[in-house]
Structures are given as structure tokens and as C-alpha cells.
Amino acid sequence: MAEATTPEPRADVSRRAALRTALRAGLSAGLAGLALPALAACTPGGGLQRITVAGGESGGFYLEFATLLAGALRREGVAGEAEPLVTGGSLENLELLRAGKATFAVALADAAAQTAPATDTSEAMAAVGKVYENYVHCIVRQDSGIRSLGELAGRTVGTGETRSGTSLTARRILETFGAGAGREAFSKHPPAERSLGLNTGLAALRAGTVDALFWSGGVPTAAISALNEDLGLSFLDLSALIRPMRSRYGPFYDRVLIPQNSYAGAPGVWTVGVANLLLCRQDLDSRTVERTVELLVNHAAGLVPQTSAGVQFLSPDTLINTAGIPLHPAAERAYRRLHG
């Protein structure tokens, strides 16, 4: 994984669209063979009867993406019925996937990597693709005067829903800072952490009951944009923590830029990026996986929420970059075919 990545400008959308068109031209007209899925009955047309996509909180990118994907799965006949699930985020999604209560799940790569291996190999997770890059936002009010992570010493900080990927990454950020540059400040006055999701956390930030809020999601996140317009927000630079986080926890973290004016009036800020993956179980049938890969490649434009500028969305070169989480064998075959 590269040490630093930067967002692609909007102009690159046309380049990626052209590349996807080329891939579509090389895609075979149909996929041979039909395997019976382990988790659901088939429809007469060959798709699963019902697919669920574990998403995230209302107002967040996970749920937006899961909703768009479920709609595409239904329209294209991959499933008779498909619906997104409102959840707390990555960790809950992984639990639902492992238990067979979700067909697909979106989750952060660091959360997926730290999940204990399944005792039953059929329950093991596999990647369908990297669907986008998540950006860690450390949000403060403009009028707070807080301009650096060290100034959170002794403050109250929202660190995400208990079962969210944000909570895992945020605590790793605070632990890494507290073990390094912030050792003295945090040892004397550690931040008080509160488990708050996006919407409850933004309400607390508005009310002044927390001083900062961590959120991991797309850029921009609609709910953050709305509060920024009403209140005025700032975002803390977290990029100095990339190297020590990679040393402590593994190669899941990249240096990424929240571009200037992604949130009206806010300057650009470097932060921590984490790959966001679409996952399934190893026992999901090959037909469903292959057809889902087709959707990710051939219908990419319809799977990007309109509220987000984003980067690295569903482009052929990033879909297969799954941060060490192995691809489902059927997904690997599909990408090899698409990439020649």
C-alpha cells in the first residue's frame, strides 16, 4: 500500500468512466453455470430470493451506498428482493455477516482485519472489492479555539458508535498520539471518551457537551455539511499519525486530503484514510458474487451517492486493492476476466 494517497480531481471522473466503458466492451455477455447459494433460495431467474446489505447510520455514507447497491441488485435481477440494513457501522456489520444475517456488508479494512478468524471456514469473510476510501474526520467547532490533537487533553471527545469502525480507528488514533507526541499531555489529562455516532455526536457538538467528534466516512458527509453551514466547523490534521499507526496496527492507514471547501469555507486538511470494503462470506454462491462484481464495474456511476465528491470510487485499479483481505474466489475470477 502506498504511503500517501491524494484524492482524484473531479475531472478524473470522465477518465474513469471511459475506462469502465472499455471494460464493459470486453465483458462477456453472460456468466456460465449456476451454483446454489448457501444462504438463501434462488429465484426462478437464477438470483437469490433475498439479499441484505449491512450499511450504517442514517445520514452516513455507508447507508447511502448500501441503499444504492441494494436497488441495483434488485433492478438487475441479482435478487428478487434486496434491502439495506441500518446499523451502527463496521463492527456490527461484521457480526451480522458472520451470523448469516447479512449477505453483504460494508466495513473498514482495519476492522475486518482485527476480527477473529472463523472456526467454521464457511463463515470466513472474503472481499468483493474496495468500494471507496474512508476519511477520518476529527471535527471541532470553529469557535472552540481547538487547532490540534494535543489540545484535546482533558476535553470530552465523541469516538463513534460502540460497534462502529469509527470507534476502532478513533481509539487507535488517540492511543497512538498518547504514546508519542501527546504522551505528557494525555497522561496528565486524558480525553474523556463518549460513544457517540454521527447524528448524536453532531447534536452534542452543537450543544457544546463534547469538544470534538470523530467520524469516518465519505467526503463530504451530508450531516456534517449541514451543521457546518449552521454553526461553522473545523477539522484537525491527523496526518502525522500515519507512520506510527502503521507501525502499531498494520498497513491499513493512508495519508489522504479532505479538499478545501469540501465543507463550505473549510480549508483543506490532511487526515487518516482507511480502505472501505464490500464483504461477503466465503460460502456465498459464485453466481451472486460474479454478478455483483459486474454491477460494481458496469454500474459504478449509479452506486456513488450524489452527496459525496469522494475519491477512488469503484475504479478498476482500486476495486481489487482490498488491504490484505482476500477476494472471494469468484470475485477474483471476475476481475481477472475484466482486466484481461
The answer to whether 19 touches 316, Cβ cutoff 8 Å, is: yes
| Residue found by looking up cell 469473510 in the block | 125
- Ranges of the chain whose pLDDT falls below 50: 1-40, 44-45
Q: pLDDT at position 312, please?
A: 53
Give me the helix-helix angle, 165-179 and 242-249, nearest 10°: 110
The answer to whether 106 touches 55, Cβ cutoff 8 Å, is: yes
The answer to whether 24 touches 297, Cβ cutoff 8 Å, is: yes
Phi, psi of 214 (to 5 degrees): -90, 140
Write the Ramachandran bin of 221: left for phi over 0, alpha for psi from -120 to 50, otherwise beta: beta
Bridge partners for 126 per DSSP: 280
Q: pLDDT at position 35, please?
A: 31
Q: pLDDT at position 47, please?
A: 60
Write the Ramachandran bin of 262: left for phi over 0, alpha for psi from -120 to 50, otherwise beta: alpha
Q: pLDDT at position 305, please?
A: 80
CB neighbourhood size of 276 (10 A): 27
CB neighbourhood size of 230 (10 A): 9
Q: pLDDT at position 320, please?
A: 92
Q: pLDDT at position 90, please?
A: 94
Q: pLDDT at position 92, please?
A: 95
Q: pLDDT at position 93, please?
A: 97
For β-strands 48-54 and 156-158, DSSP reports them as unpaired
